[in-house]
């Protein structure tokens, strides 16, 4: 999607800049951030409630039965979905907080990169651990 | 850039506290807390995958007094972010923007989160204590 307006692009002289801005806006991402934040939020209503109930049902489980519960196909799948969606939603939310409150540019960028690294690390670690439990590797 | 000496707009302390402000601030604060809490979830799953000793250590940590205080905080954060998140999704479709409705839904979020937290810990107590 290359919608940038080049200065020597003949279209930019013949068409109003609004034509290129409309839909994607000045950040070139349109409503993507907003929309994905809402989709992950909606998913997390169901996944979060499932997670709560599952954890409460495992309160007194010993190691073997806790492991067996996570290894069940549906539980493994939902746990992976929960962890990935939670980290995704967390990054989108933390990003806005950082953009709002960190006004020194290099610190802002460093934090934005750091939370993305940390989220990918956390999500992958969670997924691999669930897979290891579920597949019995 | 904030380095420049520019006049600041009136900040939080000049406003009279009202529930709509509280719910907005709490949504951010609990969101940040939950982001950290998600790391705890990963720790738990990793411990479960690593073996019995690691999982026992994890259970000891979250069962300690400090661990329980953190769990209480996280369970309320989750309850609040869930209730208020649903409220925001409803507002996103354009509903509930009249001031009385806005105030009422704010209180609903706060009260709902406390009720949900109490239900969670009642479950824990009925099952005979944590972890």
Write out pLDDT tens, residues A92-106.
999 999 999 999 999
Q: Which residues of chain B have pLDDT under 50?
A: 1, 131
- The C-alpha of B35 sits at a distance from chain A's nearest C-alpha, in angstroms, of 5
**Euclidean distance between CA atoms A119 and A84, whole angstroms:** 9
Local structure of A60: helix, strand or coil: coil
Task: Evaluate whether B107 touches B19 at the Cβ level (below 8 Å).
Answer: yes
Q: Do B38 and A60 touch (CB under 8 A)?
A: no
Q: Which of A41, A66, A86 sits opposite B85 (nearest CB)?
A: A41
Return the pLDDT at B131: 47
**Euclidean distance between CA atoms B106 and B87, whole angstroms:** 8
**Euclidean distance between CA atoms A30 and A94, whole angstroms:** 19
- The secondary structure of residue B4, as a DSSP letter, is S
Question: For tokens 């997670």, what's the residue?
Answer: A51
Search chain B and give the residue with CA nearest A86.
B38
- The C-alpha of A19 sits at a distance from chain B's nearest C-alpha, in angstroms, of 27
A123 CB-near residues (< 8 Å, 6+ apart) = A83, A84, A87, A88
Does ipTM top 0.90? Answer: no
Residue A52 contacts B, CB cutoff 8 Å:
yes
- The secondary structure of residue B15, as a DSSP letter, is S
Structure token digits, residue B60: 């000891």
Task: Evaluate whether B102 touches B65 at the Cβ level (below 8 Å).
Answer: no
Between vectors from CA B30 to CA B26 and to CA B34, what angle results, nearest 5°? 170
Q: Which of A41, A56, A83 sits opposite B123 (nearest CB)?
A: A56
Long-range contacts of residues B8-13, Cβ cutoff 8 Å, at least 24 apart: none
Interface of chain B against chain A, CB under 8 Å?
Answer: 1-3, 28, 31-32, 34-35, 38-39, 41-42, 45-46, 48-49, 52, 55-56, 78, 82, 85-86, 88-89, 92, 120, 123-124, 127-128, 130-131
Return the pLDDT at A61: 87
Q: Do B31 and A48 touch (CB under 8 A)?
A: no
**Euclidean distance between CA atoms B63 and B47, whole angstroms:** 15
Return the pLDDT at B2: 52
Determine the average pLDDT of the residues in A5-10: 52
- The secondary structure of residue B13, as a DSSP letter, is G
Return the pLDDT at B5: 73
Other CB atoms within a 10 A radius of the CB of residue B89 amount to 14
CA distances from A111 to A34, A108, A125, B67, B113 (A): 20, 5, 21, 27, 30
Whether A1 shows a pLDDT value over 50: the answer reads no
- The secondary structure of residue A114, as a DSSP letter, is H
Looking at per-residue pLDDT, the higher value among A133 and A12 belongs to A133
Cα–chain center distance at A6: 32
Helix or strand run (H / E) with residue B82 = helix B65-92
Return the pLDDT at A23: 63
End-to-end CA distance of chain B: 49
A132 CB-near residues (< 8 Å, 6+ apart) = B49
Q: Do A83 and B41 touch (CB under 8 A)?
A: yes
């Amino acid at each position: 999607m290359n919608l940038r307006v080049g200065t020597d692009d003949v279209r930019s002289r013949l068409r109003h800049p609004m034509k290129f801005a409309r839909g994607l806006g000045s950040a070139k991402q349109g409503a993507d951030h907003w929309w994905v934040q809402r989709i992950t939020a909606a998913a997390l209503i169901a996944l979060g409630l499932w997670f709560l109930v599952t954890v409460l049902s495992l309160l007194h489980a010993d190691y073997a039965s806790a492991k067996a519960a996570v290894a069940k196909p549906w539980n493994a799948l939902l746990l992976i979905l929960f962890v990935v969606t939670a980290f995704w939603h967390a990054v989108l939310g933390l990003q806005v907080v950082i953009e709002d409150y960190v006004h020194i540019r290099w610190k802002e960028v460093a934090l934005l990169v750091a939370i993305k690294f940390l989220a990918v690390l956390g999500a992958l670690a969670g997924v691999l651990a669930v897979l290891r439990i579920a597949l019995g590797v | 850039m904030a380095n420049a000496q520019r006049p600041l707009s009136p900040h939080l302390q000049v406003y009279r506290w009202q529930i709509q402000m509280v719910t907005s601030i709490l949504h951010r604060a609990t969101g940040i807390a939950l982001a950290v809490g998600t790391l705890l979830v990963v720790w738990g799953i990793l411990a479960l995958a690593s073996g019995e000793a690691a999982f026992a250590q994890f259970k000891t940590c979250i069962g300690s007094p400090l661990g329980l205080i953190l769990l209480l905080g996280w369970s309320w954060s989750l309850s609040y972010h869930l209730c208020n998140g649903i409220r925001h999704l409803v507002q996103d479709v354009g509903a509930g923007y009249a001031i009385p409705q806005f105030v009422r839904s704010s209180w609903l979020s706060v009260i709902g989160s406390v009720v949900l937290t109490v239900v969670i810990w009642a479950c824990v107590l009925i099952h005979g204590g944590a972890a």
